[in-house]
Structures are given as C-alpha cells and as structure tokens.
Amino acid sequence: MGDACGIGPEIIAKLFRGAQGAGCVMLGDVGVMRRAAAFTGGMLAVARVEHTAQAFDVPPNCVPVLQVEGLPGDLLAAPVGRVDARAGAAAAACIARAVELARAGEISAIVTAPIHKEALAAAGVGYPGHTEMLQALAAPGTEPPPVRMMLANDELRTVLVTIHMSLRRAIDAVTFDAVLETIRIAHRSAARWGMPAPRIGVAGLNPHAGEGGLFGDEELRIIGPAIAAARADGIDASGPFAPDTVFMRARDVAGHPGEFDIVVAMTHDHGLIPVKYLGVEHGVNVTLGLPFVRTSPDHGTAFDIAGTGRADASSLAAALRMARRLISG
C-alpha cells in the first residue's frame, strides 16, 4: 500500500482499473483503498480477501485487499498529503507482512508503493527506507544478505554502492569491499533478466574520476583495484569512468545499445539523477540480492497531489512488469 497519506493507494487503484493488476493482491487497509478508489473516479470495487490465492477469484475492475493486521485503528484520520506517524506505522506493517508471505512462498514478488521516510521515523521504525527494512526482514536471525539498489528504465540501469546516508558518510562508505560486492551483485542479478554476462561500467567518485589523483585518489586506491578484482573473477567490469559522462555512454537510445549494460555508481544522487531525468514515469527501483523479487516505482509519495486523483501510475505499472519479468527470467 505504501504511505496511506500519499499517492500509493491511488496509483494502485489506477492499476486495477484495467487488466494490469490481474493476479495481484494489495496488502493494506480496505478503508484506505476505498478512499483511493473514490479519489480516482469511483466505479472501482474493493474486496477484502482472506488469502492471497483469492486474488485470482475477483472480477475485473476490482481490487483484492488482504487486510494487514495491527494497523492503526484511526488510520483514515491521518490527513492526506501530510507526514503522519500512523501512516508510517501502517506502511512498515504492510512491508513486514509482504516479506512474511514472500518467505512462505505465498507470493511470487513484492511491488511496493512509495513510503515516506519522515513518517517511518515518526512511527519509531528503525529503518531509513524500504531497502534497509527488506534486507533486515529477509532472513531473520541470520546475517542480513548484502543488497543493492538498482534503478532502471528501458534506456539505463544503475546500481548503487551507497544509498540512504549523508554524502559525507557515503564517501567514507565507498570501500574496496563495498565496490567489489556491488559489482558482483550486479553481475549475478543480471542473469535474472536474461543477461548472464553484462558489461558493467563503473563510475568514479570524484570529478573526471579523480584525474589521475589530482581531484581525489579514491579511484586509484579503492575503485580501480575493486574493478581489477572483479575482472579477475571473470566479470566484464571496466572503469572507473568520469561520472558526468559514463551514463551517456551506457544509454540505450532507440534500440541501439550503449557501451555498458549496467553502470555502478558510488552514491545515491550520482546514480539516480540520470535515470530519473529520463522520466520518473518509466523508472523502476529493484532491490538486488534479496531471496525474493522486489520492485517499486522510482518516485515518492507526492504529497502535493495526494487525494486529487492526478497521480500517474506509469512507474508502478513498469515496476509490476519488471517484477513479472524477473519472476519468469
């Protein structure tokens, strides 16, 4: 469901107005989903189901909702378009329930609607975002699996070494082990979408990839050696390349492949700005390294338009298509 006060329920409603939602079940709150149906024009049935398999029994233009237990009783009182702890708590509960179902084999993939990090924090949730929460819940009682965020569209795929932390901390987190592990995860994960030998271009951290150490030496001390180690493993990785040009070199334009199938970027904004600039309606966030498939749209809760019915469901639809592709791949 995502954040109940954001556009997540609305874009889910739009998804189920056609055949795109067939075979899916919405984890969340029936009341929130009925409100979202009203926001997006009404004439959309919302049915409470008791088991995930019942998602296949509902008629067209109907949203099957598996009511998540333990949601705040006054969730509908949380104001639409505002940060609210009740919405944060509900979003976290839905994520946890989805992971339980995935681990039990009752669902094939998780597609998450946007959450709001301030709402999570207000609810006392100890994770800064989806990725960290999914990582922690994936294998309780064991060492969390190493995961990475990938943002992808039809033109570009970017995998990140660091994600939700300050830029000062992120620079310190760019280590030999972190870079090498990111390249390895990207390489392994590519096989899931039919690319067993991806060409991986690795972006530098500093302007001009450090210019031989003039603008920083992380490329010489850390990134370059990690690329060399990956190549020793048989991975087609190259770089480090200047981060202001490597994305253009990797871009698939009008069906003409770029030089690289995947770009590994050192920090969150380095990697995500190029993909989002190509259009958030096309982007998909994929968490690599989990024992189950998880995708999401590449936009946020859009509080400024929540409740208006104007939210575009294209990115959510792309996330669902990607999830189905990864399941079948």
- For 10-20, what is each residue's pLDDT tens digit? 999 999 998 88
* Residue 157 backbone dihedrals phi, psi, to 5 degrees: -130, 125
| Region of residue 74 (left: phi > 0; alpha: psi -120 to 50; beta: else) | alpha
Tens-digit pLDDT profile for residues 104-159: 999 999 999 999 999 999 999 998 888 889 999 998 888 888 999 999 988 999 99
For the record, the structure tokens of 149 come out as 């965020």
Supply 235's token pair: 């991975």
CA pair distance 28, 69, nearest whole angstrom? 9
The encoded tokens of residue 109 equal 């993939």
Averaged pLDDT for residues 225-237: 98
Average pLDDT, the chain: 94
Of residues 258, 297, 302, 305, the one with CA closest to residue 279: 297
Cβ neighbors of 245 (< 8 A, separation 6 or more) are none
Kindly compute the dihedral angle of the four CA atoms of residues 10, 15, 16, 20, in this order, to the nearest 10 degrees: -170
Residue with tokens 């090498």: 180
d(C-alpha 260, C-alpha 165), whole Å = 27
Q: What is the pLDDT of residue 244?
A: 94
- Answering whether pTM is above 0.75, one says yes
Provide the β-strand partners of residue 293. Answer: 109
Mean pLDDT over 76-102 rounds to 97
Mean pLDDT of 255-272: 94
Q: Establish whether the linkage from the previous residue to 240 is cis, with ω within 30° of 0.
A: yes
Instruction: Give mean pLDDT, residues 40-56.
Output: 93
pLDDT (average), residues 252-257: 85
Average pLDDT score over residue span 229-253: 96
Proportion of the chain above pLDDT 70, given as a percent: 99
CB 164 within 8 A of CB 226: no
Give every strand in the sheet of 200-203, ordered side by side.
109-111, 293-297, 284-288, 148-152, 157-160, 262-265, 200-203, 237-241
pLDDT score recorded for residue 65: 98
Mean pLDDT, residues 20-34 taken together: 95
CA dihedral 319, 16, 279, 227 (to 10 degrees): 0
Same fold, 1-145+291-329 and 154-278: yes
Coil, strand or helix: which one is 158?
Answer: strand
Could you give the 3-state DSSP secondary structure of residue 12? helix
What pLDDT, on a 0 to 100 scale, did the predictor assign at position 253?
Answer: 87
Q: Which of 188, 96, 98, 88 is CA-nearest to residue 148?
A: 188
Crossing angle, helix 224-232 and helix 176-190, to 10 degrees? 40
Where residue 329 falls among pLDDT bands split at 50, 70, 90?
low
Q: Is the pLDDT of residue 281 over 80?
A: no
**Residue pLDDT, tens place only, 180-204:** 999 999 999 998 888 899 999 999 9
- Per CATH, the homologous superfamily of domain 154-278 is Isopropylmalate Dehydrogenase (3.40.718.10)
Residue 326 or 86, more confident: 86
Q: In which band, very low, low, confident or very high, does the pLDDT at 45 lie, cut at 50, 70 and 90?
A: very high
Q: Where do the structural domains in the chain lie, given as residue ranges?
A: 1-145+291-329, 154-278
Helix, strand, or coil (residue 262): strand
Q: How many helices (H) and strands (E) does the chain have?
A: 12, 11
Q: How many CA atoms lie within 13 A of 128 on its CB side?
A: 4
3-class SS of residue 152: strand
Please give the average per-residue pLDDT across 70-96, as a whole number: 97
Fold of 1-145+291-329: Isopropylmalate Dehydrogenase (3.40.718)
Cα–Cα distance, 155 to 36 (Å, whole number): 32
Cβ atoms 49, 65 nearer than 8 A: yes
- Other CB atoms within 10 Å distance of the CB of residue 280: 18
The CB-side HSE value for 96 (13 A sphere, CA atoms) comes to 14
